[in-house]
Amino acid sequence: MTSQLPVDDRLASTHADRWRDPKLRPDERADALIPLMSLEEKLAQLVGLWVGADASGEGVAPHQTDMVEHTPPWSEAIRHGLGQLTRPFGTAPVDPVLGARSLAASQAQIVAANRFGIPAQVHEECLTGFAAWRATVYPTPLSWGAAFDPELVEEMAGLIGRSMRAAGVHQGLAPVLDVTRDYRWGRTEETIAEDPYLVGTIGAAYVRGLERAGVVATLKHFAGYSASRGGRNLAPTAMGRRELADVILPPFEMALRLGGARSVMNSYAEIDGVPAAADEDLLTRTLREQWGFDGVLVADYFAVRFLQTLHGVAADAAAAARLALRAGIDVELPTVDAYGAPLAAAVRSGEISEGLVDRALRRVLIQKIELGLLDEGWQELPADVEALRFDDEANQAVALRLARQSVVLLRNRDGLLPLADHQRVALVGPVADDAMAMLGCYTFPLHVGVHHPEHGIGVEIPSLREALARRHPQLTHVPGTDITGDDTSGIAAAVQAAADADVCVLAVGDRAGMFGRGTSGEGCDAVDLELPGVQAELVRAVLATGTPVVLVVLSGRPYALGDAADSASAIVQAFFPGQLGGQALAEILTGAVDPSGRLPVSVPRHAGGLPGTYLTPILGRRSKVSSVDPTPAFPFGHGLSYTTFEWDDAEVSDASGDVTAAPATWPVDGEVTVGVTVRNTGTRAGTEVVQLYLHDPVAQTTRPVVRLIGYARVPVAPGGAARVSFTVPADVTSFTGLHGRRVVEPGEVQLRLSRSSADVVASLALRLEGDEREVGHHRELLSRVRVEPVTGPAPEDRP
């Protein structure tokens, strides 16, 4: 039934002192406003409007061409108010100052059009920076994972959020917390890692930075999107409830509890036949009732209507709206559709309860109140708009630091790197002189700018050739091939250039794009993990010259390197390192910066077969019962430096701080501390990444052989040392047991201090003692890390 309360202007004015009263709690103000609103005014707050979208066929969202044709005109759409404005900066190139002024003018019209003067909440993409023209383009999330540096990611997110708020934007559609499960998936570049602990800690740091800047962080995609069959975008997900609970969901828990995210976006996935957008168990019982999330759940673009058009679980738009509302989706994005006229008609007919509308509306209003949008003094135009800059020195400095820390040195045979000044270097490969090879698909230049070439890129992006030429005097360049296509006519010239050089730097990889317009990115899935086009043929031909080869891979996913994994003298991996990635790569190749990145995903050896991550039980590894060896060429967590490190004095101490003999006793409700000393035995400063893994040899369900439960970046000067300690709560050993409950199980375990998931330095035996203990959402999620410099003599100097 529709509301029977009068909704005239006099009543609204009478109650203005309550819903506008800043002394009241946000929920009290929302509860005072909801009874004053008509059904149309309520529904207007539950939809977005994408005024810049068109049906040209060059969309930036799935099925955009099909879905935006019937968007109502501006004046009609805002007549009763508006919940959200979709991407006013991220749909077409617009000068920052002019864009802010235009947005303010739109907000003024929205305020004037509705009785209560409520502005729209404005959202933008911000995965690799504020997705706006002339905004700094940061490295992609895979690079965040490679850096193993939550504090730097938090700093980056804070700068992104500051730019967004200065422009009048309230909400960012990031971070992506999908755990990589199949590298063939085009959106692998948007994920942080193949490990939930690394995804969760890095993702929570991003959330903290964005939220502290006053921007609502939106966790996506909840849940299971990255586990689709065959790595295909929007394909069904074949996954059991344990994989969902132990691999997919933990990063979202961490980002909510440790980051304070105020919004969640549903996944396009369907798990066991139930689309996430209609999954009440996932979106309400798990997210809200068990986890206590009280923010706003927004629909991924067109996901409500997709319940009808793609999933086939709704007969029409009204049925789709009913399923989504009941499941818990509060706001339909990107533009008004099923939550508009179809939902209004269904509420009036009694098919859908107005209580469901009010439930969603209350959450929306509370968040708007928290953002100050319902306050009397709210201003649509930022005070210092004329000084607005999206790509300043502070942003660029952090982008460069993150790019440097994310580059991974996989191999360096015979110390070929860093390059020497006297060496003649041939720079070969299709991405060597391609500035766009630094960028992922959700960067503004590739996501939007490619459709508006007349405006230019908007920021300076040096290619690898440009950056390396500034640092190396003897450089020749031959592309050899294109990134895609089957033209091999340039390979001969590349081979000759390599043969004539002392060293060949061979740069191969991806071109990000959308929906088939690239080799990586949303809708750009791969049938296998061989390099795109004829790049593998180029690699084989150049390696055959006998010239020492530095293979540089600039990509959005790990590619199987085949024989190159053994034949190349040096291998460097960078995952779309952003606008200053070329500079970072050149600095590392020439030795100005020491490499410190570690692999956030394994690099497979073979292009075919089903890609698998390191998170696998025993039978997922090499075995005598299968002719297929899934062992990667380079494992998760692997990475080298130009200096050398030694680790010693690995030990376990109990809660009192006393060192204990193996196996150490570990109460199922307690904690232990493990430590190791890291010494730089080389001649230059470097950073080691100490990784802590759990090995559970016997459990009630099959468990991954190892899984990450702690890590630390450890910078050490030459000849110096640092002590790294991890305090590990027993809760982090928990998993979903035989009866579907998360438990800490007593028994023998090992804590492994490692350089990678496959390179164990010290294995410390422990025994979890006590009764099996059930834990829930409020369990301890993190191992606490402490890094301290060490004074005193090195081990060989001790008496």
Q: Is 184 helix (H, G, I), strand (E, B) or coil?
A: coil
Residue with the bigger pLDDT between 756 and 53: it is 756
Q: Given 3-state DSSP classes, what are the helix, strand and coil percentages for the chain, each rounded to the nearest 5?
A: 35, 20, 45
- pLDDT for 62: 60
Tell me the average pLDDT across 409-437: 96
Beta-sheet strand order (sheet of 664-667): 664-667, 760-769, 747-754, 686-695, 707-716
pTM value is 0.95
Beta bridge partners of 735: 743
CA distance 721 to 509: 37
Would you call the peptide bond into 73 cis, given omega within 30 degrees of 0 as the criterion? Answer: no
DSSP E strands, 640-771: 645-653, 664-667, 671-680, 686-695, 707-716, 721-729, 735-736, 742-744, 747-754, 760-769
670 DSSP assignment: S
Give residue-wise pLDDT tens across range 252-295: 999 999 999 999 999 999 999 999 999 999 999 999 999 999 99
Instruction: With cut-offs at 50, 70 and 90, classify the pLDDT of residue 794.
Output: very low
CA distance 290 to 501: 62
Give residue-wise pLDDT tens across range 602-649: 999 999 866 789 999 998 899 888 888 889 999 999 999 999 999 999
Beta bridge partners of 680: 645
For tokens 């376990």, the residue is 652
At 447, the amino acid letter reads H
Q: Write the CA distances from 227 to 127, 233, 238, 245, 247, integer angstroms.
A: 20, 10, 7, 13, 10
Helix (H) or strand (E) holding 206: helix 196-212
Q: How far is CA 785 from the centre of its chain?
A: 23
Give residue-wise pLDDT tens across range 132-177: 999 999 999 999 999 999 999 999 999 999 999 999 999 999 999 9
Tell me the average pLDDT across 415-419: 97
Average pLDDT, the chain: 92
Alpha helices in 500-634 (DSSP H): 535-543, 564-567, 581-590
- pLDDT for 19: 93
Angle between helices 393-406 and 581-590 (to 10 degrees): 50
Tell me the average pLDDT across 720-739: 97
* Start-to-end C-alpha separation, the chain: 85
- pLDDT for 384: 77
Question: Which are the contacts of 75, defined by CB distance < 8 A and separation ≥ 6?
Answer: 113
